[in-house]
């Protein structure tokens, strides 16, 4: 990517303060800037770097008034943080456009239906009766099972496995080694102490505009569907059990585990390493703190909980104060 300050200002709807012909080819944090790179300034804590930054172009807010001389060409925008996000998205889309049907003769297609502009990397398999929407990009060594439906403008990164019969919406991103549709963890104890596997014949339905992080797994249901709502963002190494329903625009950080048949509402936030027991209902707009263990229903919308077992955050910190005092001697030092 090579763009001038003038071109960038046009893309971002900003104005140039400096040399409109200044060029950049990549990005760098403001403290690591160097010639030919673009940086941005949004957090006031980093203002000192504005005056030492070596980047050729610097994105700043329109109302920024420098206290010292700035060597970089500045592009003034309404919100520099949003502008850099927009620009990174633009650069990523340009990069993906360069991906062709590399090595497609080494891939296996069993009569799928491809929309216009679909691109597939070598070593991938697309099963019988599968449908892939236009402009979807499938990287190398991907498995897509029979009868699976994938929407438009999706990105399927290397090593992804999508079992037969799954349904994936438009604009979905599946990062490397995601597994969609493996059997859930369903087993019945037998009189002799062994376990009998429960077969899973259902599927997974993923809504539009979702993103699933590397190494995460979403299990199919036994008879119906595991459902991931629209706009859901799941970080890496998360495990979603069978029959789970996750509401629209819910997000979860890395290493979360959701047990089977739990229903999570819309617009919830799960911090890292949250664990939720099975067959529970979590209300809309719930915020669950890191490493929390949820073992009961959360019925009221908008609650914030933390701890294991998880309790309302205000109760948790009052309880923690008691635990903390119990561990101190009369001089306030740890025992």
Q: Is residue 35 part of a domain?
A: yes
Tokens of 37: 């790179």
Do 19 and 143 belong together in one domain? no
Catalytic amino acids? 242
- The domain boundary, picked from 97, 128, 143, lies at 97
- Provide the residue count of the chain: 335
- The domain boundary, picked from 63, 97, 131, lies at 97
Do 295 and 155 belong together in one domain? yes
Do 281 and 204 belong together in one domain? yes
Do 69 and 119 belong together in one domain? no
Do 114 and 61 belong together in one domain? no
Do 120 and 34 belong together in one domain? no
Do 80 and 138 belong together in one domain? no
Q: Give the C-alpha distances (Å, rounded to integers) separating 26 from 3, 58, 88, 234.
A: 9, 12, 10, 28
Instruction: Residue 56: give its domain's CATH number.
Output: 3.40.1390.10
Instruction: Residue 238: give its domain's CATH number.
Output: 2.160.10.10
Q: Is residue 251 part of a domain?
A: yes
Average pLDDT over residues 59-70: 94
Do 128 and 212 belong together in one domain? yes
Percentage, residues of the chain above pLDDT 90: 78
Tokens of 3: 């763009």
Say what the pLDDT of residue 135 is: 93
Predicted confidence (pLDDT) at residue 27 exceeds the cutoff of 70: yes
Predicted confidence (pLDDT) at residue 105 exceeds the cutoff of 60: no
- The domain boundary, picked from 97, 125, 147, lies at 97
Q: Is residue 334 part of a domain?
A: no
**Domain count across the chain:** 2
Residue 58: give the domain boundaries.
3-97
**Contact in structure between 258 and 237 (CB atoms under 8 Å):** no
Q: Is residue 260 part of a domain?
A: yes
Do 142 and 180 belong together in one domain? yes
**Contact in structure between 114 and 132 (CB atoms under 8 Å):** yes
Residue 199 pLDDT grade (very low, low, confident, very high; cuts 50, 70, 90): confident
Q: Is residue 323 part of a domain?
A: no
Do 109 and 90 belong together in one domain? no
Tokens of 65: 């008034």
Question: What is the sign, positive or negative, of the torsion defined by CA atoms of 301, 307, 308, 312?
Answer: negative
Question: What is the sign, positive or negative, of the torsion defined by CA atoms of 24, 100, 134, 237?
Answer: negative
pLDDT in tens, 270-314: 999 999 999 999 999 999 999 999 999 999 999 999 999 999 988
**Contact in structure between 253 and 237 (CB atoms under 8 Å):** no
Do 186 and 87 belong together in one domain? no
Q: Is residue 42 part of a domain?
A: yes
Q: Is residue 325 part of a domain?
A: no
Q: Is residue 122 part of a domain?
A: yes
pTM over 0.85? The answer is no
Residue 208 pLDDT grade (very low, low, confident, very high; cuts 50, 70, 90): very high
What's the mean pLDDT when you consider all of the chain? 91
Percentage, residues of the chain above pLDDT 70: 92
Bridge partners of 168?
Answer: 150, 206
Do 61 and 123 belong together in one domain? no
189-216 per-residue burial string, b: 16 or more CB within 10 A, e: under 16: eeeeeeeeeeebebbbbbbbbbbbbbbb
Bridge partners of 46?
Answer: none
């Amino acid at each position: 990517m090579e763009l001038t300050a003038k071109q960038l200002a046009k893309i971002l709807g900003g104005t140039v303060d400096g040399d409109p012909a200044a060029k950049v080819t990549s990005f760098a944090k403001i403290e690591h800037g160097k010639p030919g790179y673009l940086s941005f300034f949004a957090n006031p804590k980093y203002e000192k770097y504005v005056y030492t930054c070596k980047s050729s172009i610097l994105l700043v807010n329109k109302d920024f008034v420098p206290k010292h001389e700035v060597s970089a060409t500045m592009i003034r925008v309404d919100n520099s943080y949003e502008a850099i996000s927009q620009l990174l998205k633009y650069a990523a889309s340009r990069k993906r456009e360069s991906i062709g049907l590399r090595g497609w003769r080494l891939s296996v297609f069993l009569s799928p239906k491809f929309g216009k502009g679909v691109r597939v990397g070598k070593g991938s398999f697309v099963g019988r009766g599968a449908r892939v929407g236009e402009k979807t990009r499938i990287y190398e060594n991907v498995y897509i099972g029979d009868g699976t439906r994938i929407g438009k403008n999706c990105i399927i990164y290397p090593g992804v496995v999508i079992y037969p019969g799954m349904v994936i919406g438009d604009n979905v991103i599946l990062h490397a080694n995601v597994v969609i549709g493996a059997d859930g963890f369903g087993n019945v104890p037998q009189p002799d102490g062994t376990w009998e596997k429960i077969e899973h014949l259902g599927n997974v339905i993923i809504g539009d505009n979702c993103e699933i992080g590397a190494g995460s797994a979403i299990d199919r249901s036994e008879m119906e569907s595991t459902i991931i709502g629209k706009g859901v963002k799941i970080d890496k190494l998360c495990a979603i059990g069978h029959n789970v329903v996750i509401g629209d625009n819910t997000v979860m950080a890395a290493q979360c585990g959701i047990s089977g048949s739990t229903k999570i509402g819309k617009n919830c936030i799960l911090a890292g390493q949250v664990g939720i027991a099975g067959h529970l209902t979590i209300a809309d707009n719930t915020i669950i703190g890191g490493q929390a263990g949820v073992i009961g229903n959360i019925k009221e919308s908008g609650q914030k909980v933390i701890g294991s077992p998880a309790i309302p955050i205000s109760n948790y910190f009052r309880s923690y104060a008691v635990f903390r005092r119990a561990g101190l001697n009369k001089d306030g030092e740890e025992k």
